[in-house]
A and B are shown apart, each in its own frame.
Chain A
Amino acid sequence: MEWLAERLAQAPGLENMLYFLAITLPLLSIILGFVTYAILAERKVIGYIQLRYGPNRVGGRFGLLQTVADVLKLLIKEDTRPKLADKPLYILAPIIAFVPSFAILVAIPITETLTFANMGVGLLYVIAVSGLSTIGMVTAGWASNNKYALMGGMRAVAQMISYEVPLIMSAVGVVLFAGSLNLTVIVEQQQFVPYILLQPIGFIVFFIAATAELNRTPFDLPEAESELIAGYHVEYSGFRWAMFMLSEYVYLFAMSALITVLFLGGWNPIIGLGFIPDVVWFALKFSIVVFVFMWIRATLPRLRADQLMEFGWKVLLPVAMFNIFFSAVLKELFF
Chain B
Amino acid sequence: MIRTEEMLLNVGPQHPSTHGVFRLIVKIDGEIIKEATPVIGYLHRGTEKLAEDLQYTQIIPYTDRMDYLSAMTNNYVLCHAVETLMELEVPERAEYLRIIAMELGRIASHLVWYGTYLLDIGATSPFLYAFKDREMIINLLNELCGARLTFNYMRIGGVKWDAPEGWIEKVKQFTEYMKKELEGYDELVTGNEIFQNRVKGIGQYSKETAIQYSLSGANLRCTGVDYDIRKIEPYSIYDRFDFDVPVREEGDAWARYECRMEEIVQSLRIVEQAVEQFPEDGEVLGKVPRVIRPPKGEVYVRIESPRGEIGCYIASDGKKEPYRLKFRRPSFYNLQILPKLLEGENMANMVAILGGVDIVLGEVDG
Contacts of A300 in B (CB 8 A): 122-123, 192, 194
Min Cβ gap B117→A in Å is 10
B351 interface residue, CB < 8 Å from A?
yes
User: In this complex, which of B15, B132, B194 has the most chain A Cβ atoms within 10 angstroms of its Cβ?
Assistant: B194
- List the A side residues contacting B54 at CB < 8 Å: none
B129 and A302 form a contact (CB under 8 A): no
Q: Judge whether A218 and B132 touch: CB under 8 Å.
A: no
Which of B17, B122, B348 is the one whose CB lies under 8 Å from A217? B122
Alpha-carbon distance A217/B119, docked complex (angstroms): 12
Please give, as numbers and ranges, the residues of chain A lying within 8 Å of B346 by CB-CB distance: 304-306
Residues of A within 8 A of B9 (CB): 147-148
CB distance from B12 to the nearest CB of A (A): 11
A302–B347 touching, CB < 8 Å: no
List chain A residues, Cβ under 8 A from B121.
226, 301-302
Give Cα A306–Cα B122 distance, bound, in whole angstroms: 16
Interface residue from A51, A221, A301, A307 paired with B123 (Cβ < 8 Å): A301
Knowing A51-B128, A151-B347 touch, does A305 contact B122 (C-beta < 8 A)?
A: no
Q: Chain B contact residues: over half helix, strand or loop, or mixed?
A: helix
Does A220 have its Cβ within 8 Å of any Cβ on chain B?
yes
Are A218 and B122 also in contact (CB < 8 A) when A147-B7, A151-B31, A301-B192 are? yes
> Which residue on chain B has the smallest CB distance to residue A47?
B128
Most chain A CB within 10 A, of B118, B123, B194, B348, is at B348
Give the contacts of B182-223 with A (CB-CB under 8 A): 188-189, 192, 194-195, 197-198
> Given the complex of chains A and B, what is the CA–CA distance between A305 and B123 in angstroms?
16
Q: Does B336 contact A (CB under 8 A)?
A: no
Given A301-B123, A305-B346: A229 touches B195 (CB 8 Å cut-off): no
Q: Find residues 25-54 in chain B having any chain A CB closer than 8 Å to their own CB.
A: 31
Contact indicator B119/A227 (Cβ below 8 Å): no
Q: B350 interface residue, CB < 8 Å from A?
A: yes
Least distance between B77 CB and chain A CB atoms (Å): 32
Asked whether, in the complex, the Cβ of A301 is within 8 Å of the Cβ of B347, the reply is no
Q: Which residues of A in the span 287-309 have a Cβ within 8 Å of any Cβ on B? A: 298-307
Number of interface residues of A (CB under 8 A): 28
Contacting residues, chain B, for A103 (C-beta < 8 A)? none
Q: Is the CB of A303 within 8 A of B194?
A: yes
A224 touching B348 in the complex, CB below 8 Å, given contacts A50-B124, A218-B194, A301-B195: yes
In contact, B349 and A304 (Cβ under 8 angstroms): yes
Q: Give the docked Cα–Cα distance between A226 and B124 (Å).
A: 11
Closest approach, in angstroms, between the C-beta of B203 and any C-beta of chain A?
13
Counted as pairs of residues, one from A and one from B, with CB atoms less than 8 Å apart, the total is: 79
A304 in contact with B120 (CB, 8 Å) = no
Q: How many residues of B contact A (CB 8 A)?
A: 30
**Given A220-B122, A301-B123, A305-B346, A227:B195 Cβ within 8 A:** no
Give CA–CA (A185, B153) in the complex, Å: 73
Is B234 interfacial (CB 8 A cutoff)? no
CB pair A303–B128 under 8 Å, yes or no, is: no
- The listed residue (B7, B15, B123, B348) touching A299 by CB distance below 8 A is B123
Hey, which chain B residues are within 8 Å of A305, CB to CB? 31, 346, 348
A112 sits at the interface (CB 8 A): no
| Chain B contact residues, CB within 8 Å of chain A | 7, 9, 15-17, 31, 118-125, 128-129, 132, 188-189, 192, 194-195, 197-198, 346-351
List 16 A-B residue pairs with CB atoms under 8 Å apart, sorted by A's residue number. Answer: A50-B124, A50-B125, A51-B128, A225-B16, A225-B122, A227-B347, A229-B15, A299-B125, A300-B123, A300-B192, A301-B118, A301-B121, A301-B195, A302-B194, A302-B198, A305-B346
CB-based closest 10 A-B pairs: A302-B122, A301-B123, A50-B128, A301-B121, A226-B17, A304-B348, A301-B122, A226-B120, A301-B195, A298-B125
Contacts A50-B125, A301-B118 supplied; 7 other A-B pairs, CB < 8 Å:
A51-B132, A217-B122, A226-B351, A228-B347, A299-B188, A303-B194, A304-B349
